[in-house]
A and B are shown apart, each in its own frame.
Chain A
Amino acid sequence: MDVTLGLLPGIPGAGDGGGGVPPGGSILTKSKNKENNHNMSIEDSSPYPVDDNDDYDDGGDLKLGLGLSIGGGLKTKEESFRILTSQDSPILKPSCSSSSSSSSSSSSSIVGTKRTAIHSVSPPNATSVVGWPPIRKAHRVSILANRNKSELEEFSSRPKTKNITNGHHLTVKVNMDGTLIGRKVDLYAHTSYETLAQTLENMFYGRWSSTEAIGSSRLLDGTSEFVLTYEDKDGDWMLVGDVPWQMFLSSVKRLRIHRNPKMQH
């Protein structure tokens, strides 16, 4: 589509294009699109004269006209009728066109600008854009606060594990290989793995290797005859001691002391 800006018929007979053009400002003529068939209640006819003989061809020469401005910066009559073409000033080349053919040539003339043409930037989504959606700060802050609050509520209302817990105790079963009767331990009574291992040692004292009293660290670091493991909320058996204590508390279901398969007697 050739984009041609005509002049105002402020003085009869001047300018190209037909009459019936409203005063004030330039007019822009364009060809009607062939598929201008949106059947809807809006009138398709434009008050502006239309050129039917030009195909849409972006990147062609742009002819600009200056309309008769009311109180504008035009000094002489001659100036008001002068048609500026793209030859008059290199900057009037279409620097941002929507068709790819001309964009490569025009973007090379845009030197030193950080911003590339609009169409080459990846489409924005709502999360990546400054000032979008257009909500005032007071509302934005409130929305985010409400969101945090509801997520917190959702989290705390998730179904709890089968462990008996009333917020003050988290009592889990402990079984040991070779022992029929298991024990129970309150994990909330402990603040670290060391104290837990010490307690377990006390509970099962005498069932370790009879020659040594095992320091709690050995139960945890894998050098003793026994290994401490736990079943997590997904049902997997994991080695105790890998994750931070608090995280362990939130996922442990029960404990088991295994004979260390690596230790050979």
Chain B
Amino acid sequence: MVYSLPEEVLEHVFSFITSDKDRNVVSVVCKSWYEIERKCRRKVFIGNCYSVSPGIMIRRFPEVRSVELKGKPHFADFNLVPEGWGGYACSWIDKMSRAYPWLEEIRLKWMVVTDESLELISTSFKNYKVLVLASCEGFSTDGLSAIAANCRNLRELDLQESEVMDSSGHWLSHFPDTFTSLESLNISCLGSEVSFSALERLVARSPNLKTLRLNRAVPLGKLSTLLQQAPQLVELGTGAYLSGVRSDVYSALSKAFLGCKELKGLSGFWDVDPSYLPAFYSVCSRLTTLNLSYATIRSPDITKVISLCPNLQRLLVLDHIEDSGLNALALSCKNLQELRVFPSYLYVADANVTLTEQGLVSVSQGCSKLQSVLYFCHQMSNSALITIAKNRPNLTCFRLCIIEPRTPDYLTHEPLDIGFGAIVKHCKNLNRLSLSGLLTDRVFEYIGTHAKKLDMLSIAFAGDSDLGLHHVLSGCEILKKLEIRDCPFGDTALLANVAKLATMRSLWMSSCAVSIGACKILSRKMPMLNVEVTDENGTLDPKLDSCLVEKLYVYRTVAGPRSDMPGYIWTMDRDSANKI
């Protein structure tokens, strides 16, 4: 006898389950649960927009209110994905505009979005609330004007690091005077000025505004005006942080910051004039996030700021902080969870900047809650890495970039295999890892053996042979995203692990040693994968199986090969592979 709860009851129970993973699990319990769940799913996250088609999503989930999509591979951030690659949001927005009249939220990352699509969004959804365009491109301020003019209930507009073509300067003025629902606005990526008076009026009539990230063009002298209108702000991104020598600007700013009792996060800080730093000291004790990654300030200024922020959880900073500043961080910020240190000079070490592995070791010692690290530096040693691993077994994300490729341990001149090996052995919950420095196949053996919770791995200029790749593919059980550049990995490892690729979201390999022939075999054996091969130089002869492929992108899909690729990218088709 099978008891089953009435549909409405199950639906009610499911409404408390919000995480995608949990929802996915619920949906495979049995057929009736699948049916009930799909009809009441409100949020969909699609990590690779080509893994499924809009039509399939819409057929399965008819009542969606929030959609999140990612397009290009992660390496698009570093210019490795060529122009015209794809990631077009157009067809998604088009179909959703007809199928989901009650859609409220769209979040896109690494996608190409047009003004037409933005206009369609602004007019199609009756209760539209959230638009996040992260690292997107293809649209201009005209599209933003449409959003501003038509989305009467907009809560969030976030243009995080997108490339926006500035055509008309006054898109902000298109928000009607009756529009008062704004909670979050991020325009930090905009190159040109926005109309300040429009901005000021908008802020003044948005009592629920919690997040405001300005662009560089907003002068410091005007910041105090905005802060006075919005003392309830929780997250603030300043514009350029300098104003000549103006004591009136300073005192107005200082007073305005005093009034911001809810402020927890600060960012922006382009072109910092250190004499204006004390203006925000009054908020430091409450700060949990501080992004100084555009500020070239040094000790003692930066050390002073950090020492005033005991509740800091997240710090982004340039290497001007130096080891001395990181030592101060380790002493002052016992709640630190995430640290990102960016280079101030792209290639060689700056003689004036003393940032070494010591700084990271100090932080790993002093900050017991540290979980996430992104660290650019010029030298590293195995002993430092081993120390870090033993100090901080609770690390979940460890991304180290030693700037010069293939740099060995600077003390012993050996590869950094055992150092990274210690990281994966001790940090049992590590889910994200980026490698650098001189590395042999051995490090991959350690990774395959120990990094059982690894979700994403980034590899560059490492390894000796296919064995390295094989260790990763065969050992990392829940690996979902693998991106590799300039490594001697090729056909053998790939073809020995074809099944693994169907359990992953995607594999990127560029400047490696994979041949066209192997791609054909892979495609033939795994029909649920799209095997995309890039040949920008036009040197690839598809009939010549031994030809090496410049860039390979493999991902699982239920939507078949995509049709929007530029001419220099091909999907290996299993049928044509058989013919050749």
Residues of chain A having any CB pair with chain B under 8 Å: 3, 5, 24-28, 30, 38, 40-43, 46-47, 58, 62, 64-67, 69-74, 89-92, 94-98, 109-115, 117-119, 123-127, 129-140, 142-144, 146-147, 150
Chain B residues near A (Cβ < 8 Å): 75, 77-80, 135, 161, 189, 270, 293-294, 296, 342-348, 376, 386, 401, 403-406, 417-418, 421-422, 425, 434, 445-446, 449-450, 458, 460-461, 464-467, 470-471, 473-474, 477, 485-488, 490-492, 495-500, 502-503, 511-513, 515, 517-518, 521, 524-528, 537, 539-541, 544-548, 550
| B464 CB to nearest A CB, Å | 5
Bound-state Cα–Cα, A73 to B495, Å: 12
Q: Kindly list chain B residues whose C-beta atoms are within 8 Å of the C-beta of A95.
A: 490-491, 513, 515, 546, 548
From residue A95, how far is it (CB to closest CB) to chain B in Å? 6
Q: Are A131 and B546 CB-contacts (below 8 A) given A72-B502, A91-B518?
A: no
What are 23 A-B pairs with beta-carbon distances under 8 A?
A: A3-B492, A25-B497, A26-B474, A28-B496, A43-B425, A46-B449, A64-B496, A72-B498, A73-B525, A91-B515, A94-B466, A110-B548, A125-B405, A126-B348, A133-B343, A133-B376, A134-B458, A135-B343, A137-B79, A137-B161, A138-B189, A143-B346, A147-B346
A40 and B386 form a contact (CB under 8 A):
yes
Residues of B within 8 A of A74 (CB): 525
Contact status B474-A140, CB under 8 Å: no
Tell me if B474 and A27 are in contact (CB < 8 A). yes
A46 to B375, CA, bound (A): 30
Query: Is A134's CB under 8 angstroms from B500's CB?
Result: no
Alpha-carbon distance between A115 and B471 when the two chains are bound, in angstroms: 26
Interface contact A42-B446, CB-CB below 8 Å:
yes
**Nearest CB in chain A: distance from B500 CB, A:** 6
Query: Nearest A residue to B445 by beta-carbon distance?
Result: A46
Shortest Cβ distance from residue A202 to the other chain B in the assembled complex, whole angstroms: 44
Given A96-B488, A98-B464, A111-B544: A73 and B498 interface contact (C-beta under 8 Å): yes
Query: How long is the Cα–Cα vector from A130 to B460 in the complex, in angstroms?
Result: 12
Set of chain A residues within 8 Å of B527, measured between Cβ atoms? 73
Residues of B near A94 (CB, < 8 A) are 466, 490, 492
- A100: min CB distance to chain B, Å: 13
A92: B residues at CB distance < 8 A: 491-492, 495, 518
* Complex Cα gap A40–B389 (Å): 13
Q: Which of A3, A113, A132 contacts B78 (CB 8 A)?
A: A132
Number of A-B contacts (CB under 8 A): 204
> Is A114 a contact partner of B386 (Cβ separation < 8 A)?
no
Chain A neighbourhood of B477, CB < 8 A: 24
- With A138-B189, A139-B342: A91-B491 Cβ-Cβ less than 8 Å: yes
Which residues of the partner chain B approach A30 to less than 8 Å between Cβ atoms?
A: 467
Given contact pairs A135-B343, A138-B161, A113 touches B539 in the complex (Cβ within 8 A): yes
Name the distance in Å between B493's Cβ and chain A's nearest Cβ: 8
Contact at A135–B486, with CB atoms within 8 Å? Answer: no
The answer to whether B346 and A140 touch across the interface, beta carbons within 8 angstroms, is: yes
Contacts of B464 in A (CB 8 A): 98
In the docked arrangement, what's the CA distance between A25 and B470, Å? 10
Residues of chain B contacted by A134 (CB below 8 angstroms) = 77-78, 401, 434, 458, 460
Are A126 and B342 closer than 8 Å at their CB atoms? no
Chain A proximity of B240: nearest CB distance (Å): 12
Which of A42, A74, A90 gathers the greatest number of chain B CB atoms within 10 Å? Answer: A42
Centre residue among A40, A67, A117 by max chain B CB count within 10 A: A40
- Residue contact B546 to A113, C-beta cutoff 8 Å: yes
A42 & B418 in contact (Cβ 8 Å cutoff): yes
Chain B residues closer than 8 Å to A132, beta-carbon distance: 78, 405, 460
A-B residue pairs, 9 tightest by C-beta: A69-B499, A91-B517, A96-B513, A131-B78, A72-B499, A114-B539, A73-B525, A118-B488, A25-B474
**Complex Cα–Cα for A5 and B545 (A):** 23
A60 to chain B, nearest CB (A): 12
In angstroms, how far is the closest chain B Cβ from the Cβ of A122? Answer: 12
Specify the chain B residue showing the minimal Cβ separation from A109: B546
Residues of A within 8 A of B539 (CB): 112-114
Query: Which residues of the other chain, B, contact A133 by a CB distance below 8 angstroms?
Result: 343, 346, 376, 401, 403
Q: Enumerate chain B residues within 8 angstroms of A64, measured Cβ to Cβ.
A: 492, 495-496
The answer to whether B293 and A139 touch across the interface, beta carbons within 8 angstroms, is yes
When chains A and B are docked, how far (Å) is the Cα of A25 from the Cα of B497? 6
Decide if B524 touches A73 in the complex (CB within 8 Å).
Answer: yes
A73 B526 Cβ-Cβ under 8 A: yes
Given contact pairs A26-B497, A137-B79, enumerate 11 new A-B contacts (beta carbons under 8 Å). Answer: A25-B497, A40-B386, A41-B386, A98-B465, A109-B546, A113-B547, A114-B537, A117-B488, A135-B376, A144-B346, A150-B296
Write the nearest CB–CB distance from A21 to chain B, whole angstroms: 10
Output the residue of B418, B492, B545 with the most chain A CB within 10 A.
Answer: B492
CB pair B449–A91 under 8 Å, yes or no, is no
Closest residue of A by beta carbon distance from B382: A40
B434 proximity list for chain A (CB < 8 A):
134
Residues of A within 8 A of B403 (CB): 126, 133
User: Given the complex of chains A and B, what is the CA–CA distance between A112 and B450 in angstroms?
Assistant: 40
- Contacts known (A91-B518, A126-B346); A69 close to B293, Cβ less than 8 A: no
Q: For residue A46, which residues in chain B have a CB less than 8 angstroms away from its CB?
A: 445, 449
- In Å, the complex CA distance between A112 and B535 comes to 13
A115 to B512, CA, bound (A): 10
> A213 to nearest B CB, angstroms?
53
Would B78 and A69 count as touching, CB distance under 8 A?
Answer: no
- A142 and B477 CA atoms in complex are apart in Å by 39
Task: Output the nearest chain B residue to A106 by Cβ-Cβ distance.
Answer: B546
Minimum CB–CB distance from A65 to chain B (whole Å) comes to: 7
Chain A residues, Cβ within 8 Å of B512: 118
Q: Is the CB of A96 within 8 A of B343?
A: no
CA distance A133 to B417 in the complex (A): 20
Q: Which residues of B contact A25 (CB under 8 A)?
A: 473-474, 496-497, 499-500
Give the distance in Å from the alpha carbon of A144 to the alpha carbon of B344 in the complex: 8
Give the chain A neighbours of B458 by CB distance below 8 A: 134
Q: Do B490 and A96 have beta carbons less than 8 Å apart?
A: yes
CA distance A137 to B464 in the complex (A): 31
CB within 8 Å for A135 and B346 given contacts A25-B473, A64-B495: yes
**B492 A62 Cβ-Cβ under 8 A:** yes
Residues of B with C-beta under 8 A to A41: 386, 422, 425
Question: What is the CA–CA distance of A119 and B489 in the complex, to the nearest angstrom?
Answer: 12
The interface residues of chain B lying within 8 Å CB-to-CB of A144 are 346
Residues of A within 8 A of B471 (CB): 28
Cα A163 to Cα B396 with chains together (Å): 62
